[in-house]
Structure 1
């Protein structure tokens, strides 16, 4: 089998005109160059040089080999560069999972920066809730997923996953603009005791959080309308059908809707990224860095949102 090192040495000899000159250019000894050429001649089974007392002359076979090996060695160099990129995480594929509000607000910033610094990494996005995404990460079908958990709603991520904390969100109360509390900067849970609520679907962490929060204030919320689409929830609030509790990342200022913070409530929704502890995909490192930068940027801009790293 042809050895690419020997082919490169042959090309260097033809370029330099002698074994000694080629050895100096390659950083080898003259003996090492001579041995490599001899080994190559044994493989191709034809002489590559006519050796005189003080000179060497390349044979047609040597010139042919050098000419034909140019493209092959260039392709091999490119392959070696790609392998280095794979090991360093600058080349490859990132299979990412996310939930809708993170896809809308966090990922555009994170992935734009990531694509700029890692142009040779292909990013594939799948969307779902944490209960859907976690099994895919554990099965190796996703490399990483953005997930969330609510205080007051116990949740423990599987031990074989590593978590990166990204954001902490306040829960904001959405009120119709003509509501008596619409002008208040903050409202207490007691002020909302007799309200009709618009909430996420039964069985979701958001619905469980609302029940737990109201239970601490001594009442059960009257939920008449449910949707997992925060746009629909805003529309119902705008129409005066009820009030709602939404994470800060899901809040978008909207005509006809007022937002207020909850007075005296320290419970939060916490956003993080999870990936397998034993992952072998090196692109994860750059993706985590991009997500942390995006979280820091959002945490300094959006009301009710804080970068988790800054809260330690």
Structure 2
């Protein structure tokens, strides 16, 4: 194997025609240059210089080797620059995943912040439920995943992963604009015991949390419609079809009233999972941006007191919703599969007069 250091020294020898001049250009002594060329000749298996008492003349082989190695050394130098950039985080790739509302509300700003710091980084974002992305983090397919966990439906994360909290989302009651209780600053949950409820599907943490919270208030919620798409839930509430309990990232102000729950304050916690041994230099930068975004959200929610609403009541990429008109299509809706244990392709807005099975 030819030593690239020796090849670089050879190039200087050929260019200058002198071991001493090559040494001065490279910061070596003439003796060190001579030793390197001797080692290179041993590796090549043929002389590269015609040596005399006063000079060392390059052979045709030395000239040819210099020409042929120029591109290879240039490629090696380029690779070295790329490696240094990757080690410093100036370049390289970062693979993230998040659940739907985190991908809509939090991660676009986080990715933009990472690119402001590292413009040449390659960023990838996927979407999935916690149970769908955990294995990918464990296997190294993803560098990190943003997930959620309800206080009323706790879960166990793998011991091999670091689990950092990003932000704690307030859970708020969502009522139609003309509801009898919309003037209240906060509402005890039992005041809504006779109301029709709208929530996510039966197999979701959100649905289980609602049932457990209602049980603590002495009633079983009458769930009339279900969808894993929070915009569907908000639209149904806006039409007066029922009331809902939603996490902060799912709140929108248009045509509904958002009111604080009296007494116990349930939370949905947004967390980020990553491998303890992950050495990707872009990961600490992304985590810092993510925690800053979480702190900004927490500050905004705290500052808005009773009404922690997403700005303008609109989701990124959507026009602010106007009060819906006409009959409601209760068949199939595109979904935002956030709270379930498995992938959801479609969610039926399902009517039922029975308690959801756990």
* Alignment of structure 1 residues 188-267 onto 2, 5 Å: 188-254=188-254, 256-267=255-266
Indicate if the aligned counterparts of 2:199 and 2:225 stay in contact, CA closer than 8 A: yes
Q: Is the 8 A contact 2:143 2:275 kept in 1?
A: yes
Deviating beyond 6 angstroms after TM superposition, the runs of 4 or more aligned structure 1 residues are none
1:224-264 CA distances to partner (integer Å, 9 max, x unpaired)? 1111100100110010001111101111221x111112233
Q: Where does the alignment leave 5 or more consecutive residues of structure 1 unmatched?
A: 306-312
Q: Which moved more, 1:217-226 or 1:86-95?
A: 86-95
Spell out, residue by residue over 1:257-297, the C-alpha distance to the aligned partner (whole angstroms, 9 max, x if none).
Answer: 11112233332111111022343544432322222232233
Contact 2:173–2:243 (CA under 8 A) maintained in structure 1: yes
Partner of 1:277: 276
Residue 198 of structure 1 aligns to a residue whose secondary structure is strand
Residue matched to 1:74: 74
Query: Higher helix fraction: Structure 1 or Structure 2?
Result: 1
Residues 183, 60 of structure 1: CA spacing in aligned structure 2 closer, same or farther, 3 A cutoff?
Answer: farther
Show the counterpart of 2:35: 35
8 Å CA contact 1:98, 1:126 repeated in 2: yes
**Equivalences for residues 75-154 of structure 1 within 5 A:** 75-154=75-154
With the length of structure 2 as denominator, give the TM-score of the two structures: 0.77
Do 2:184 and 2:259's aligned partners in 1 also have CA atoms closer than 8 Å?
Answer: yes
Compared CA separation, residues 116 and 149, structure 1 to 2 (3 A): same
CA distance in structure 2 between the aligned counterparts of 1:293 and 1:17, rounded to whole angstroms: 59
In 1, the alpha carbon distance for the partners of 2:208 and 2:297 equals 26
Aligned pair count reads 304
- What does residue 287 of structure 1 align with? 286
Of residues 227-236 and 116-125 in structure 1, the stretch that sits farther from structure 2 once superposed is 116-125
- The normalised TM-score by structure 1 is 0.88
The answer to whether the 8 A contact 2:171-2:265 is kept is no
Can you list the C-alpha shifts for 1:85-135, whole angstroms capped at 9, x where unaligned?
444444433332211110100111011112333344433332222122223
Native 8 Å contact 1:89 1:285 kept in 2 = no
- Tell me how far 1:52 sits from its aligned partner: 4.0
1:5 is the counterpart of 2:13:
no
Q: CA deviation at 1:17?
A: 4.2
The aligned residue for residue 310 of structure 1 is none
Quick check: 2:168–2:269 contact (8 Å CA) kept in 1?
A: yes
Hey, what does 1:300 align to over in structure 2?
299
CA contact (8 A) 1:210 1:245 kept: yes
Worse-matched range after superposition: 170-179 or 37-46 = 37-46
